[in-house]
Amino acid sequence: MGSSCRSCRWLRLFVVVLLLGFLVCTSFCRAQDDSEPDDEITAVYIVTLKQAPSVHRFAQELRRGNKNHGFHKQNGTSGRLSRLNNPRNVSISHPRSGYNISRVHDSILRRAFKGEKYLKLYSYHYLINGFSVFVTPQQAEKLSRRREVANVVSDFSVRTATTHTPQFLGLPQGAWIQEGGYETAGEGVVIGFIDTGIDPTHPSFADDASEHSYPVPSHFSGICEVTRDFPSGSCNRKLIGARHFAASAITRGIFNSSQDYASPFDGDGHGSHTASVAAGNHGIPVVVTGHHFGNASGMAPRSHIAVYKALYKSFGGFAADVVAAIDQAAQDGVDIISLSITPNRRPPGIATFFNPIDMALLSAAKAGIFVVQAAGNTGPSPKSMSSFSPWIFTVGAASHDRIYTNSIILGNSLTISGVGLAPGTDKMYTLISALHALNNNTTTTDDMYVGECQDSSNFNQDLVQGNLLICSYSIRFVLGLSTIKQAFETAKNLSAAGIVFYMDPFVIGFQLNPTPMKMPGIIIPSPDDSKVQFLCLLCRQH
């Protein structure tokens, strides 16, 4: 099958995804006279050279070598590098190998700085020809004036931008049927995820979830890092590769190895989520706080997963690390690159395609890799997108037909609907307002937010114990100043039977997510409803 046909197959599989180490390449070079002051400002810069990267040069050589052998006609590539002719395994002595290109980068830096201090973080050679380096603005200016250099930009920060969804999208009767059903949908395809890593213990990534074993994709050559957080055996025939990239973050002194994990392990959860949505196993039970929400499936459940961790929980990520991850993923032989990331802020001036991330992705697309990226949620307007390059398949959040309803039944059999993923109660309970259960030392004058139930010491346990505690839900919950988790902690400390939240009129219209609750609870989203007013009347009577 030609590469263009394979690209169509990958597009058909992933158009439905609409919901969607530290490699220091050189040592720290110190000047012999150490003339630079120690306190001079330094930063990470990404330098792109004029010379073409490995994948472009090999494609040119391949086209020349096959010009008289019908290569284009037989494979239908129109000059695109076939996945079967990937140059990633060339000899280290080849002039286009990554090793030799890295040596060229080192030579440029030595000649540019002539003994000055600098730190090279990465050499990029496969998709773009360049490097990232930790230098002063004056040194960056020196590099920009060299004849070999095409572009020098400051490194910039980036950040991270289901069960019923396959049925909602019509996959069982659509794309899965065309691909032979969920048992074969995505078979042999390797997806490279540039994200926050992965939790290898999750059943969505096991290779024994099906009676059909996973074949080992022969075109993939990536490795699986082994660390204390990501021990030997974490990878398998489903999760076939895992690396992490953090050189830029480490250079800035903001990397916390205990919190961010210097390994492919996912300390945030975002990467595991995106991997399971796209490529998670079929038929995996989803259980949250004791509730079963059905069996989940990835959109292409038989595809393989390769993880390239370049984003972290505590600070997000940086372009220098992301470009290194993209470059490695392409070199390893992934068929698809998935990025659910976006810049932290709008770039200065007029937005262009010529930033290092987009240029690396352009080379990936030219090499026959299907690139998909999240549209982003950063604005500034409702229709703004952070992913706008025409060679990237951009996806955005879509609607679905799921409704997570909850309700409370009053003593007169009146039912009031609300929101919340919570267990029910086995009998009727008395309602008690938080404002009517204050202890003698607490008043609303002392704490105007006491009704949000954030501190159990404000309440009389004798009044609350065994009853349903009614708390207010204000803008402070939206801003994160108060939390549902803390309110439930208060209810637990007071031995309440559960919690009922009523919404402050100021937050009417705010979207309420179906928050998991470990005890009976409900958020009633419309305090103006006559039934809710009746509920509050009952509270005052008690």
pLDDT in tens, the chain (542 residues): 444 444 444 444 443 333 333 333 333 343 333 444 444 689 999 999 999 898 876 665 555 554 444 434 333 444 444 444 555 545 444 555 678 899 999 999 999 999 899 999 999 999 999 999 999 999 999 999 999 999 999 999 888 874 456 566 666 666 656 666 667 778 899 999 999 999 999 999 999 877 788 888 999 999 999 999 999 999 999 999 999 999 999 999 999 888 899 999 999 888 998 999 888 888 888 776 666 667 888 888 899 999 999 999 888 899 999 999 999 999 999 999 999 887 766 655 555 667 889 899 999 999 999 999 887 666 566 666 666 777 887 777 665 556 667 788 877 777 887 887 788 887 888 888 898 899 988 888 778 889 999 999 999 999 999 999 999 888 888 888 899 999 999 999 999 999 998 888 777 666 676 677 888 988 888 754 545 556 556 555 55
Q: Please, what's the b/e burial string for 486-497 (b: 16 or more CB within 10 A of its CB; e: otherwise)?
A: ebbbbbeebebb
Q: Is the peptide bond before 380 cis (omega within 30 degrees of 0)?
A: yes
**267: exposed, middle or buried (C-beta count within 10 Å: 0-12, 13-18, 19+)?**
buried
Report pLDDT for 228: 93
Q: Specify whether the CB–CB gap between 142 and 47 falls below 8 A.
A: no
Q: Specify whether the CB–CB gap between 281 and 209 falls below 8 A.
A: yes
Chain position carrying tokens 């114990």: 465
For residue 533 the two structure tokens come to 């007013």
Q: Specify whether the CB–CB gap between 267 and 313 falls below 8 A.
A: yes
Q: 230 to each of 97, 243, 255, 261, 309, how far by Cα in Å?
A: 29, 10, 18, 9, 12
Report pLDDT for 509: 65
SS3 49: strand
The pair phi, psi for residue 460, each rounded to 5°, is: -90, 110
Report pLDDT for 517: 81
Domains of the chain: 43-154 (no CATH), 157-395 (3.40.50.200), 405-541 (3.50.30.30)
Contacts by residues 109-116 (CB-CB < 8 Å, ≥ 24 positions apart): 109/26, 109/29, 109/133, 110/29, 112/139, 112/142, 112/143, 112/146, 113/29, 113/139, 113/142, 115/29, 115/31, 115/32, 115/33, 116/29, 116/31, 116/35, 116/36
Report pLDDT for 115: 86
- For residue 485, the one-letter residue type is K
Report pLDDT for 14: 42
Gap between the Cα atoms of 178 and 9, Å rounded: 10
Report the Cα 332 to chain-centroid distance in Å. 20
Report pLDDT for 401: 58
Residues 6+ apart with CB under 8 A from 331: 88, 98, 126, 221
Is the backbone of residue 483 left (phi > 0), alpha (psi -120 to 50) or beta? beta
Report pLDDT for 504: 80
Report pLDDT for 508: 66
Gap between the Cα atoms of 205 and 368, Å rounded: 26
For residue 33 the two structure tokens come to 């006279």
Report pLDDT for 532: 52
pTM to 2 decimal places: 0.69
Q: 318 to each of 53, 143, 356, how far by Cα in Å?
A: 22, 21, 11
